[in-house]
Amino acid sequence: MSIEQLESIAQAMVAPGKGIIAIDESNTTIKKRFDGVGIECTEDTRRAYRELLLTAPNLSDHISGAILYDETLRQSSQAGVPFTKIMLDRGILPGIKVDKGPHALAGFPGEVVTEGLDGLRDRLKEYASLGAKFAKWRAVITIGDDMPSSTCIEANCHALARYAALCQEAGIVPMVEPEVLMDGSHDIDVCYDVTEVTLRSLFASLYEQNVMLEGAILKASMVVSGKDCPEQASVEEVAEMTVRCLKASVPASLPGIVFLSGGQSDEAATAHLNAMNQMGPHPWPLSFSYGRAMQSAALKLWSQDMGKNFADAQKTVAQRARENGLAALGQWKKSA
């Protein structure tokens, strides 16, 4: 695939008023979500839940793509139609999570590095044949005493860059996700410093690996106070600090940036995105790639009566997509 085609896909991912829904939870993670609402976690319930999300009416009005788990990319609806066909027919790009998760970084207690590069070239080739148009790799950066180390940041950014180069080789747009965790009592200034250092390291690594930025997307964490910080930054401060950090570290040639919710409440994730876009214009579109902030209300509703509440849960997903789509345009208004 040419860089022009990769660039076209990347631009479609951040089309005005549209973002990404993340439904790429591993079977272990989704079991925890299901356990929390009293749903048995089986292949069939996982399939049914993902069908609820992917077939929600009018979803494509504000959703450009969905990040899937390996199992989901291979599944079909109850009627036997592959999920990838359903998505492409509705104008929703199929994406795939390809990393193998964070593992302890030897020699650095408390820090992790994401694994999954072994065999990735062949896996990407298969995913492309199954219809995947973009992929995602998540790195985890923890703030704490003497953390993060420069070694942790460099190791994770190198892995992100190698992954991105392999994606482009396979004709798949890489979404690079260096998540700076909210966990901790640090203030917003510490989060700013760590996020800026991480992003600078990431783009240096992408450059070293000959990754074409025009055919890639950044999935970024917002610059926020640690969740245990006694002084929580306002919506306006989060927006101002996040945009300032991005402008200091992200090249303008990147087609777009989508944010992860990272443990924020549904409303906070939407409000922060909206405030950032009201500050625009920016060098790149700022949109969303939310998981829990898109799904939590729908999952709770569906769990109460799967058959009866299926349609209502879908409406909830579509409404969350609409609210975040408006926030991506700076047009969201908090309901009374």
Q: Is 263 exposed, middle or buried (0-12, 13-18, 19+ CB in 10 A)?
A: middle
Question: What is the set of active-site residues?
Answer: 177, 219
pLDDT at 262: 85
Pairing status of strand 19-23 against strand 112-114? unpaired
On the CB side of 76, how many CA atoms lie within 13 Å of its CA?
Answer: 5
b/e per residue 163-193 (b: at least 16 CB within 10 A): bbbbbbebbbbbbbbbbbbbebebbbebbbe
pLDDT at 42: 94
- DSSP secondary structure string, 205-263? HHHHTT--GGG-EEEE------TT-SSPPPHHHHHHHHHHHHHHHS-TTS--EEE--TT
pLDDT at 306: 81
pLDDT at 1: 65
Give domain limits for the chain: 3-327
Encoded tokens for 242: 């996040």
Low-confidence ranges of the chain (pLDDT < 70): 1, 336
DSSP 185: S
pLDDT at 254: 98
Question: Mapped to the 3 state alphabet, what secondary structure does 95-164 carry?
Answer: EEECCCCEEECCCCCCCEEECCCCCHHHHHHHHHHCCCCEEEEEEEECCECCECCHHHHHHHHHHHHHHH
Which CATH superfamily, name and number, covers 3-327? Aldolase class I (3.20.20.70)
Query: Which pTM was predicted?
Result: 0.95
AA letter at 8: S
On the CB side of 15, how many CA atoms lie within 13 Å of its CA?
Answer: 14
Q: For residue 18, what are the contacts with CB-CB under 8 A and spacing of at least 6?
A: 62, 63, 64, 287, 325, 328
